[in-house]
Amino acid sequence: MNGEWEGATKIIRAREILIEAITELEGTPNLEIALRVYGHQSPITPTFQDCDDTKLEVPFGPNNYEKIKTFIRNVEPKGTTPIARSLEASAEDFPDANARNVIILITDGLEACDDFPCESARKLKAKGINVTPFVVGLGIELKYLNDFTCIGRVYEASTQETFKKVMKSVISDALLNTSVQINLNDIHQKPEETNVSVFLYEAGTNNLKYTFMHTMNYKGIPDTITVIDPEMRYDMVVNTLPRVYKKNIEIKKFQHNIIPADCPQGSLNIRIKGATKTSEVKIRVIQHGKIVTLNVQDIAKMQKYLVGSYDLEILTLPRIYKNDVQVNQSAFTYIDIPGSGLLTYRCYQPIVGQVFINDNAGQDQWVCDFDSEKLTDRFYLQPGKYKVVYRLKTAVSTDYTSVKTFRIDAGESTTINL
């Protein structure tokens, strides 16, 4: 900050603009500011730089503007540039984690110590510290400023006039920030659903503007989003099963917006009970009263669905149907099915044949066809009484029709010779 900048040193020019900006903040309701300074206590020498030279000089408090301006008037740059340590330490300066906490980092140089600002920014986020950093670079080339984009919004102030404009813009953004919270409500209207992706489209179009994976913050409430443009309306798609749609959403400027969506969910799991010859089973899930497939679910895999009623077609042989299955809020619905047995057939010449199961009403229901090009094949079948109706593929008379009965037991193998 001792470098020359438009007829004076950077520190002199910075003092003038910062004091002016702080004066304009006086009287702003619900605002407290603090001042942390780095590189001002320990002189740097050819053999030493104090990377711990960072200090909260004026803590947060009401009406401390004059204290901050007095310190700025008298502070002198002496030491190094420990940006990462200052950034990490400043997060602990805030007295209230529930407030909108903003850091404005002003520097005329790059990180000079061993720490990495990007890593410090990552640590802050991992700890759940809700801060919004702005980085203002005084006379730093833009290509070097790009190193700070991982911290927050970066502003280049190459001249005194641009520094003044940048400070006004940053303070305006900090005070008049527009934010959004997407509440995925459960059946009790509590925003406790999460871990689904959310799409925001420009209203009435297919123009996808934002994609988010919905997240709860460290306080257990939906995370705040600060990157949404309030100048347009949006259509929202919540990618639950089935999807939830909300149309023509207005984002109000300069305030915290809450977008609610009813997304109550429970979990569904279809399991095989007992011995089985295969666990590779798919389940077709349909909303009750509809015909379109909502999802094809794997056996023994837990899947969330919106609270409601569903019809299941379990793709065993023969099919198993479960209608009007209820999915309840935050509950686990389990459907148990019998395990399968293994049928192997062999023949000495190609045959045409069909397999039937004798159902609970004593009726024969079709299960599957044989492949007339194969002399042997295997099928995983549900337990029960079966028969196969077949004849030689080359036979030209129905008199050659044969019938063979057999039984399938769960977890057992059955072989028939035709």
pLDDT tens digits, one per residue of 317-341: 999 999 999 999 999 999 999 999 9
Sheet containing strand 413-417, edge to edge, reads 376-381, 341-346, 413-417
- Going from the C-alpha of 102 to that of each of 87, 167, 270, 303, 377, the distances in angstroms are 11, 13, 49, 39, 69
Q: Name the token pair of 290.
A: 């509809």
Say if CB 34 and CB 59 are below 8 A apart.
Answer: yes
Which residue's entry shows tokens 């509950």?
A: 331
Q: Please give the Cα distance from 93 to 122 (Å, whole number).
A: 18
Q: What is the 3-state secondary structure (H, E, C) of the chain?
A: CCCEECCEEHHHHHHHHHHHHHHHHCCCCCCCEEEEEECCCCCCECCECCCCCEEEEEEEECCCHHHHHHHHHHCCCCCCCCHHHHHHHHHHHCCCCCCCEEEEEEECCCCCCCCCHHHHHHHHHHCCCCEEEEEEEECCCHHHHHHHCCCCEEEEECCHHHHHHHHHHHHHHHHCCCEEEEEEECCCCCCCCCCCEEEEEECCCCCEEEEEECCECCCCCECEECCCCCCCCEEEEECCCCCEEEEEECCCCCCEEEEEEECCEEEEEEEEECCCCCCCCEEEEEECCCCCCCEEEECCCCEEEECEEEEEEECCCCCEEEEEEEECCCCEEEEEEECCEEEEEECCCCEEEEEEEECCCCCEEEEEECCCCCCEEEEEECCEEEEEEEEECCCCCHHHCEEEEEEECCCCEEEEEC
Q: Name the token pair of 140.
A: 């730093």
Q: Is 247 left (phi over 0), alpha (psi -120 to 50) or beta?
A: beta
Say if CB 14 and CB 163 are below 8 A apart.
Answer: yes
> Which CATH number is 4-175's, of 3.40.50.410, 3.10.180.10, 3.30.70.600, 3.80.10.10?
3.40.50.410
Q: Name the token pair of 41.
A: 């206590």
Tens of pLDDT, residue by residue, the chain (418 residues): 666 666 677 788 788 888 988 898 888 878 899 999 988 888 888 888 888 899 999 999 888 999 999 999 998 888 788 888 888 888 788 887 667 778 888 877 677 786 666 777 776 666 555 555 566 665 555 555 566 666 667 777 777 787 778 777 777 777 766 789 999 999 999 999 999 999 999 999 999 999 999 999 877 889 888 778 888 999 999 999 999 999 999 998 767 899 999 999 999 999 999 999 999 999 999 999 999 999 999 999 999 999 999 999 999 999 999 999 999 999 999 999 999 999 999 999 999 999 999 998 999 999 999 999 999 999 999 999 999 999 999 999 999 999 999 999 999 999 999 9
| Fold of domain 265-338 | Immunoglobulin-like (2.60.40)
What is the chain's length? 418
Beta strand pairing call for 234-238 and 244-249: antiparallel
Say if CB 138 and CB 157 are below 8 A apart.
Answer: yes
Same fold, 4-175 and 179-262: no
Residue 148, pLDDT score = 62
Query: 251-307, pLDDT tens digit by residue?
Result: 987 678 999 999 999 999 999 999 999 999 999 999 999 999 999 999 999 999 999
Residue 307, pLDDT score = 98
Tell me how crowded residue 144 is: count the other CB atoms within 10 A of its CB: 12
Q: Please give the Cα distance from 207 to 202 (Å, whole number).
A: 6
Q: Is 367 left (phi over 0), alpha (psi -120 to 50) or beta?
A: alpha
Q: Please give the Cα distance from 259 to 257 (Å, whole number).
A: 6
**Range 179-262: architecture per CATH:** Sandwich (2.60)
Task: List the one residue out of 352, 350, 349 whose CA is nearest residue 389.
Answer: 352
Tell me how crowded residue 197 is: count the other CB atoms within 10 A of its CB: 12
Residue 2, pLDDT score = 66
Residue 124, pLDDT score = 65
Residue 6, pLDDT score = 63
Residue 163, pLDDT score = 76
Q: Please give the Cα distance from 23 to 85 (Å, whole number).
A: 28
| Fold of domain 341-417 | Immunoglobulin-like (2.60.40)
Sorted by where each begins, the domain ranges of the chain are 4-175, 179-262, 265-338, 341-417
